[in-house]
Amino acid sequence: NYVGALQQWVKIQDGATSATDLLFSIVDLHAMTLPYDQARLRLQKRQTLAALLAVGLDPQRSTIFFQSAVPAHTELMWILSCTASVGYLSRMTQWKSKLAMSDNVALSDPDTKAKLKLGLFSYPVLQSADILLYRATHVPVGHDQVQHLEFARENAKNFNTAHGHFFPEPQTVMSPVKRIMSLKDPRFKMSKSHEDMKSRILLNDTPDSIRVKIKAALTDSIDGLSYDPIGRPGVSNLLALMSYLDTSHRSVVQITAECQGLSMRAFKDEVAKTLIEGLTDLRERYEYFMSAAQSQYLQEVVTAGKKKAGSKADETMILVRRMIGVDQL
């Protein structure tokens, strides 16, 4: 998330004009689509907020808020659901991947019927509401979220066709960074929800933890180093990670050349060293915001964000209710 999304968000914030509204929502309702622990969810909300502040999002410039604090998100979701396509939702890949199902599985499949819950199936509609509620024109996303933004545009079109033109069709702002893959299985993207903690690097990982995870990362037995995501996905993933977090801003080509004579063990030591150096300042800022002394400040940030986001959401919903015929008599 840091390499693929958060760095991009900060660049957008720092380069935006003063007339540009910037909203960043911590989407805690989306965390409920699979079984979860309530206490852990509360902690993860705080951790996410601390991470956003640590990477450089500025509450004085950007509106940062919890999705659940603005009820209009779920109200608009229902309204959009009334014109959303079940067929479109059934073809989306996220619910299939979260349930470890093949991309071509059908809703009529008995295993699908047993496992799939409505929340997981329909959460892209809520994601559309998250975007359209603020009539967003541009949305920064990673490569794995492109399909969801396309669905948001589809929902905007459906609403506009049914009730008259109102919602803009949000444009995709792609991250220049391709997906970071799992350390344990580089065929799949690195995910904070994966059951194996060694599959990912966290912002608050200690240097020792990073060394252990990189040492255990899946590579291969081929001599030398080469960047070949298809033939050598594990090694290529480590080279890409080094490049993204290198404080000297070396390219993959430069790193490959400089590390060419190293054994795999020595190469992994270099990877760990680069990651530790690249994440040290960020980890220290994260720990600062996670400290008990900053609890009041974190609450002030989300309270102000709730007020700003809620005001914008109310403006939209007054007009939406009027358009669909459920405004006050």
What local confidence, expressed as pLDDT, does residue 143 receive? 73
Instruction: From residue 192, give the alpha-carbon distance in Å to each of 31, 61, 203.
Output: 12, 28, 11
Active-site pick, 98, 117, 157, 198: 98
**Is 98 designated active site?**
yes
* Cα dihedral 142→147→153→157 (10° resolution): 180
Structure tokens at 45: 């909300």
Task: Provide the β-strand partners of residue 23.
Answer: 63
Q: Which of 189, 213, 268, 308 is catalytic?
A: 189
Residues 141/172, Cβ–Cβ less than 8 Å: yes
- The CA-atom distances, in angstroms, between 44 and each of 28, 164, 190 are 9, 40, 18
User: For the chain, first and last CA: distance in Å?
Assistant: 46
* Catalytic-residue membership of 192: yes
Q: What pLDDT is recorded for position 196?
A: 80
Identify any residues that bridge with 140 across adjacent strands, giving them in sequence order: 173
Phi, psi of 229 (to 5 degrees): -55, -25
User: Do residues 29 and 67 make contact, with C-beta atoms less than 8 angstroms apart?
Assistant: yes
Q: What is the pLDDT of residue 276?
A: 96
| Mean pLDDT of each 10-residue bin along the chain, 329 residues long | 83 93 96 94 96 96 98 98 94 85 87 91 96 95 83 97 96 80 88 80 93 95 93 95 93 95 95 96 96 97 98 98 91
Are 106 and 112 in contact by the 8 Å Cβ rule? The answer is yes
pLDDT of residue 54: 96
